[in-house]
Each structure stands twice: as C-alpha cells, then as structure tokens.
Structure 1
Amino acid sequence: MTRFGYTLMTEQSGPKDLVRHAVAAERVGFDFEVSSDHYFPWLSAQGHAPHAWTVLGAVAHATERVDLMTYVTCPTIRYHPAVVAQKAATLQILADGRFTLGLGAGENLNEHVVGEGWPAVDVRQDMLVEAIEIIRALHTGDLTTWEGDHFRVDSARIWDLPDEPVQIGVAVGGEKAVNRFAPLSDHLVATEPDAGLISTWNAVDGAPSIPGTGRAVGQIPICWDPDEQAAITRAHEQFRWFAGGWAVNADLPTTAGFAGATKFVREEDVAAQIPCGPDLDAIVESVKPFWEAGFTDIALVQVGGDSVDRFLAEAAEPLLEKLRSAAP
C-alpha cells in the first residue's frame, strides 16, 4: 500500500505555523510527515528557516499517529554526528517510536554557515559514511570512542535511548551513491521518480529490500490553488529554485546565488515541472510516476506557506482520496 505524506517546509513557514500545519495534516489523513532541515531558505521570498529539530520535538507532542522524518539532515558539517545521534534518540522517545532519521550529504546553502568550507561530493559522501557508522555505534548505548578520517568521538554515550531503535533513511541520487549507502541504511530517500534507483538498491548485498523491510521515500512539490494563475505566480516566486536540479542546488551558498541562478526561469518553466491550480486529477498524474517507479512513500510539498491552511482545509482530503484510489 502506497503511503502519502505531508512536508513541513521550514523554508516557507514559521515554527508555530509548522506545528499547527502538522496537526491539521494528521487530522485530514496524511500517513506521515517529513521536515526539511535548513539554515537558509532557497529564495528570500520564502522567508523562513526555523530550527527543524525544535519544531519536530513540538510536532511529536502535538501529534499522535503520523510517522515523522527529517528530509533530510546533513550530519557532517553544521552538526557533528554524535550530536545528531543524541537528537535522534531523544526525538524517537518523544515520538513514541514514530521517527525516522533521514540523512544526506548536504547543501552548501545550509552547511557553509559554520565556516568549515564546502568539500567536493566524494569527500562529502566519505564523511556521511563515517557519520552513519558513528550514529549507529552510539545508538547501541555503548561508550564510544572513534578516530576516523573526518571525525573524532571521545568517550561518548547516549544515555536516553528509545525502546524502538531509530531507523535511518539516506538520500541517494545515482548508482554510485546507492551502492555505497544501501548496506548502511534502512530506507532509500530520493526526490526523482527513478525506478533504476530502487532496482539498483535491491541488487546490493546487505540492502533492505524495497518493498519489504525497506521503504523508498519520495517527495514532490505541488501548488494547489483555486486560481491557476495565482498558483503559477506563487510557484515561480517561491519555488523556481527547483528548476536547477541537484547538481546545481547542492553547491549554491546563498539565497542571492539561487536568485541569480534562476533569473531567467519563466513562470511557464515552473508550471511545466510543478502541477499548479485546482485540478486534483492533474496532481494525481504528477505523483503517479513515483508509485510506478516503486516508491512506497510519497511526501507532498504544498508551495507557499500562506496557502497551506486553505490547502489542508479544502483540498487535502479529496486529494488523498484520489491518490489512494489511483495508487497500488
């Protein structure tokens, strides 16, 4: 059964609104909720970037049923992996076992702020491997000392461990990353409906099978609005960064950089990539490639923080009904 989630976009809403949206999304029937973990929004028009882990702690207490996930946290530069291990264990306790730790190699936009530079992608992946190994070691509850190529841990221990172990999903974007991270992960995370990622994952020794014990968690932006043109305008204003693709987006350091890189992206370019307007059937068609590719979990992003309340009140329930009727 395909599960459908709601995305808590920390780039487009403040912390109290995000908690309120989380409660409303649970009430209308979403199966899970994921949260971005950013220090910057992509574009200044989005206007927000509260601390995701603080928000998720509040969401864990304010909700009862939905699964929660970071989508995704970089545990290598802005955060030390030993601190991420502690945060994840605490959040799992607060969430009564509903939390999954989503990890990735990060974006310059968020990691440059601590002044440690921005390594090449191969180095970032090396760091992520080491970070996952540290987090796994600390989640055993054992006293841990670690001396690696990128991190040191000195006699650390997580004192408050959850009854339900924290599972880890890792964002992957190609065959090399899948081969490297599948044996270290519980779940696959990706933003493109690429069936090849899942078939490659399932061929890797030691990888949890998808579907099976593993899940493939995807994400897609939508811009629902009763007025199609208003939706297109809003998506262009706040989400045109999406047109750049991961290869560009991972390396840009500031909102000014994203504004410059997307200066010539037109409204029609954005509308061609993001379903905009009131047509729920069109949204279903845009989501369909994910379940056809084998994704088990698909999180929706409603573009525009000011539009979320109306989306959840008017469109979310009928959209979920249509999605569940169409999906396997």
Structure 2
Amino acid sequence: MDRHGIKRCWPSDHYMPWWHTGAAGGAAWPWLGAALAKTNKIAIGTGVTAPILRYNPAIVAQVFATLGYMFPCRVFFGLGTGESLNEVPAGSAWLSNHERLERLEEAIKLLWVEEWVTFQGKYYQVKDQTSTQNWRSQSRYTSLALARRPQGWTVRKQMAL
C-alpha cells in the first residue's frame, strides 16, 4: 500500500457477514496490527468502532493505545454509536438513539482520561486503572476532534436527538 501512494486505510469494525453468501468477514483489530506491521507510512484505523455495546470502552482504549505505542503517528480511531445489524447479532439489545448517544458520551469521557482513573458512570465503571491514552499525543490523525471540544460534542448530540 505504501508504494502505491495510499495515505490512509480504514477497515470497518463490523460483526460480519451481513449477507447470506457464505462469505466471512474478519475482525478489524487483528487486521489493524497486521496491516500496520506490513506497511511503513500509511495511517490505519477503524472507519468506526462502537465502544458502547459489543465492546467496553476501557478495552477499546487499551487496544488503540497498544497500537499507538507500536506504530506511533500512524493509528487513528473512528468512533460511533453502532448499527443494529452489528450489535444485535452479537447479543446486544438495540437501544434508542438517545441511549446510544448517552452511552457514547460516557464512553468518550472514559476513553479520554489522563493518568490513573476511577470512573463510575451510569453504564461503565473502571476502578483504579492507569490510563492507556497517551497514544493521542502520538497520532497526527485524531478522528474524534470533538473529544477535544466538549461543547462541540454537546451541540452535535442535541442536534441528533
């Protein structure tokens, strides 16, 4: 991919397959590590990961922090509220838009913590853990600019309701 001038690549983080062809879809996170290891320049991250139903935000933070340490300045993280066709087959109930946005807002607070954290939210809890989020400062591609501007996140959240 490097020699073809590709600058960024983002696989989907979907529970697959969605279709009835017998095809299989791979998991995004192992693919990220393999693709980053086989390339030298390209920035790679998820198109969207939904850290609210299939994944605990603390685990998402650990995965992307690990990738960020291994491949500095090349990892980005797309963030969203998920889709029914991904979350329900994996055993999650499909929640209202309002509740998914609430969970995402709480997940963002947990994902973007500094140093040691004890986090007691309505949906997620972490007790006495060290933050793994130093990867933020190593990446040129921060796909969630809203995390730096909580007021921007709030406006967009209210518009979506």
User: Normalising by the residue count of structure 2, what TM-score does the alignment of the two structures yield?
Assistant: 0.82
| 1:102 aligned onto 2:78 | yes
User: Normalising by the residue count of structure 1, what TM-score does the alignment of the two structures yield?
Assistant: 0.42
Aligned 1:19-34 pairs, distance under 5 A: 25-34=1-10
Aligned 1:86-235 pairs, distance under 5 A: 86-137=62-113, 140=114, 142-158=115-131, 161-162=134-135, 164=138, 168-170=142-144, 183-184=146-147
Per-residue CA deviations over 1:75-108 (Å, capped at 9, x if unaligned) read: 0111100000000101112222211111110012
Count of residues paired in the alignment:
152
Q: Specify every segment of 5 or more residues in structure 1 that has no aligned partner in the other structure, as ranges.
A: 1-24, 171-181, 187-203, 208-328
- Which of 16, 27, 34 is the equivalent residue of 1:58? 34
Q: Give the drift of 1:206.
A: 5.2
Q: Give the drift of 1:122.
A: 1.0
Per-residue CA deviations over 1:29-68 (Å, capped at 9, x if unaligned) read: 1111111111112213371221111110111111001111
Q: Give the drift of 1:168.
A: 4.3
Which aligned segments of 4 or more residues in structure 1 are displaced greater than 6 angstroms? none
The answer on whether the counterparts of 2:77 and 2:143 sit within 8 Å (CA) in structure 1 is yes
Per-residue CA deviations over 1:211-256 (Å, capped at 9, x if unaligned) read: xxxxxxxxxxxxxxxxxxxxxxxxxxxxxxxxxxxxxxxxxxxxxx
Distance 1:166 1:101, change over 3 A: farther
Aligned 1:42-57 pairs, distance under 5 A: 42-45=18-21, 47-57=23-33
Q: Which amino acid aligns with 1:85?
A: A
Q: CA RMSD in A?
A: 2.6
Rounded to whole Å, the distance in 2 between the matches of 1:135 and 1:28 is: 34
State the SS of the aligned residue for 2:112. helix
**Bigger-Rg structure (1/2):** 1
Rounded to whole Å, the distance in 2 between the matches of 1:46 and 1:31 is: 32
Q: Which amino acid aligns with 2:8?
A: F
Rounded to whole Å, the distance in 1 between the matches of 2:44 and 2:72 is: 11
Q: Which has the higher helix share?
A: 1
